[in-house]
A and B are shown apart, each in its own frame.
Chain A
Amino acid sequence: MLEIKKYSLEYIKGKKVINKLNLYVKEGDIYAFVGRNGAGKTSTIKSIVGINHITEGDILLDGISILKQPIAFKKRIAYVPDTPILYEHLTGIQYLLFIADMYDLTEEKRDTMIQTYAKTFELYEDLNDIIESYSHGMKQKLVLVAAFLHDPKLYILDEPFVGLDPKASFTLKKLLKEKAEQGKIIFFSTHVLEVAEKLCNKIAILKEGKLVVDGEMKKVLQEHSLEELFMELVVDD
Chain B
Amino acid sequence: MTKIIHLIYIHLLSLFGINRVVKNVHEGESARFEFKTILFIIISLLYCFLFYILLQTFFTDGFLILPIAFLFSSIFCLLYDFNQVKAILFQAEDTLFLFSLPIDKKEIVLSKLFTIYFKNIFFAFLFMISALLAARFTLLLNQTFILLFLVMILFIPVLPIVIASICFYANSYFKMHFLKLRVALFISIFVVLCFFLFFILPDVYITRSNIMFLISKLCRLYPISYLFSQSLSQMNLFLFFAYLMIHIGIIYLYIVFLSFDYPKICSVMRGRKKKSFIVYKKRSNKKRFFGLVHKELVYLFSYSLYFKNSYSLTIIGSIFLVFMFLILPYRSYDSFLSYFNLFGPLVLSVIASLGLSGIHAFSLERKNLDMLGSFPVSFGQVFFAKMLTNFLLLFVLILFNATFLMLVVKPNTFVIVMLYVLPIFVSLFHIFFSLLLDSCFIDKANQSESAIIKERLLPIVPIFLSFSYLVFPFLFPNVLGYKYILGSLLVISISEIICCLLFYFVARRKLIRKIFYS
Which 8 A-B pairs rank lowest in CB-CB distance, beginning with the nearest? A101-B291, A51-B373, A74-B376, A49-B374, A79-B374, A89-B303, A75-B376, A89-B302
Nearest-neighbour CB distance to chain B for A60, whole angstroms, equals: 16
CB neighbours (8 Å) of B377 from chain A are 71, 102
Whether the pair B276, A128 counts as a contact (CB closer than 8 A) is yes
A-B contacts besides A85-B367, A101-B291, 4 pairs, CB < 8 Å? A51-B518, A85-B368, A90-B299, A98-B291
Whether the pair B374, A98 counts as a contact (CB closer than 8 A) is no
Interface residues on A, range: 35 or more
CB neighbours (8 Å) of B294 from chain A are 98, 101
Residue-wise, chain A 46-75 has the 8 Å CB interface mask toward B (1 for contact) of: 100111110000000000000000111111
Return the contact of B517 from the options A51, A93, A100 (Cβ within 8 A): A51
Nearest-neighbour CB distance to chain A for B304, whole angstroms, equals: 9
Smallest CB gap from B286: residue in A: A101
Whether the pair B517, A102 counts as a contact (CB closer than 8 A) is no
CB neighbours (8 Å) of A73 from chain B are 376
CB neighbours (8 Å) of A89 from chain B are 299, 302-303
Whether the pair A102, B299 counts as a contact (CB closer than 8 A) is no
B36 at interface by CB-CB < 8 Å? no
CB neighbours (8 Å) of A101 from chain B are 283, 287-288, 290-292, 294-295
Whether the pair A86, B283 counts as a contact (CB closer than 8 A) is no
Return the contact of A51 from the options B282, B299, B516 (Cβ within 8 A): B516
Cα(A75)–Cα(B287), bound, Å: 13
Interface centre among B280, B374, B378 (most CB of A within 10 A): B374
Cα(A103)–Cα(B298), bound, Å: 19
CB neighbours (8 Å) of B371 from chain A are 79, 81, 85
CB neighbours (8 Å) of B26 from chain A are none
Whether the pair A97, B375 counts as a contact (CB closer than 8 A) is no
Cα(A128)–Cα(B176), bound, Å: 11
Cα(A96)–Cα(B299), bound, Å: 14
CB neighbours (8 Å) of B101 from chain A are none
Smallest CB gap from B513: residue in A: A53
Smallest CB gap from A92: residue in B: B278
- Interface size in chain B (residues, C-beta < 8 A): 34
Whether the pair A50, B373 counts as a contact (CB closer than 8 A) is yes
Find residues 240-288 in chain B having any chain A CB closer than 8 Å to their own CB: 271, 275-276, 278-283, 287-288
- Total CB contacts across the A-B interface at under 8 A: 101
B370 at interface by CB-CB < 8 Å? yes
Smallest CB gap from A106: residue in B: B283
Cα(A49)–Cα(B376), bound, Å: 10
Return the contact of B271 from the options A50, A74, A133 (Cβ within 8 A): A133
Smallest CB gap from B305: residue in A: A89
Cα(A75)–Cα(B376), bound, Å: 5
Whether the pair B373, A49 counts as a contact (CB closer than 8 A) is yes
Whether the pair B278, A104 counts as a contact (CB closer than 8 A) is no
CB neighbours (8 Å) of B513 from chain A are 53
Whether the pair A129, B368 counts as a contact (CB closer than 8 A) is no
A127 at interface by CB-CB < 8 Å? yes
Smallest CB gap from B293: residue in A: A101
CB neighbours (8 Å) of B279 from chain A are 93
A202 at interface by CB-CB < 8 Å? no
Interface centre among A93, A101, A102, A111 (most CB of B within 10 A): A101
A77 at interface by CB-CB < 8 Å? yes
CB neighbours (8 Å) of B299 from chain A are 87, 89-90
CB neighbours (8 Å) of B378 from chain A are 71
Interface centre among A73, A98, A133 (most CB of B within 10 A): A98
Whether the pair B373, A128 counts as a contact (CB closer than 8 A) is no
CB neighbours (8 Å) of A22 from chain B are none
Find residues 144-196 in chain B having any chain A CB closer than 8 Å to their own CB: none
Smallest CB gap from B279: residue in A: A93
Nearest-neighbour CB distance to chain A for B285, whole angstroms, equals: 10
Whether the pair B278, A74 counts as a contact (CB closer than 8 A) is no
Whether the pair A71, B376 counts as a contact (CB closer than 8 A) is yes
Whether the pair B271, A129 counts as a contact (CB closer than 8 A) is yes
Nearest-neighbour CB distance to chain A for B167, whole angstroms, equals: 22
Smallest CB gap from A79: residue in B: B374
Cα(A100)–Cα(B288), bound, Å: 9
Nearest-neighbour CB distance to chain A for B447, whole angstroms, equals: 15
A110 at interface by CB-CB < 8 Å? yes
Cα(A74)–Cα(B516), bound, Å: 13
Whether the pair A52, B367 counts as a contact (CB closer than 8 A) is no
Residue-wise, chain A 205-218 has the 8 Å CB interface mask toward B (1 for contact) of: 00000000000000
A121 at interface by CB-CB < 8 Å? no
CB neighbours (8 Å) of A98 from chain B are 291, 294-295, 298
Return the contact of A53 from the options B280, B283, B374, B517 (Cβ within 8 A): B517
CB neighbours (8 Å) of B287 from chain A are 101, 104
Nearest-neighbour CB distance to chain B for A106, whole angstroms, equals: 8
Whether the pair B283, A107 counts as a contact (CB closer than 8 A) is yes
| Contact status of A97 and B280, CB under 8 A, knowing A74-B374, A74-B376 | yes
CB neighbours (8 Å) of A102 from chain B are 288, 291-292, 375-377
CB neighbours (8 Å) of B292 from chain A are 101-102
Whether the pair B295, A74 counts as a contact (CB closer than 8 A) is no
Cα(A128)–Cα(B291), bound, Å: 19
Whether the pair B370, A104 counts as a contact (CB closer than 8 A) is no
Residue-wise, chain A 101-137 has the 8 Å CB interface mask toward B (1 for contact) of: 1111001001100100000000011011110010000
Nearest-neighbour CB distance to chain B for A118, whole angstroms, equals: 8
Cα(A49)–Cα(B303), bound, Å: 28
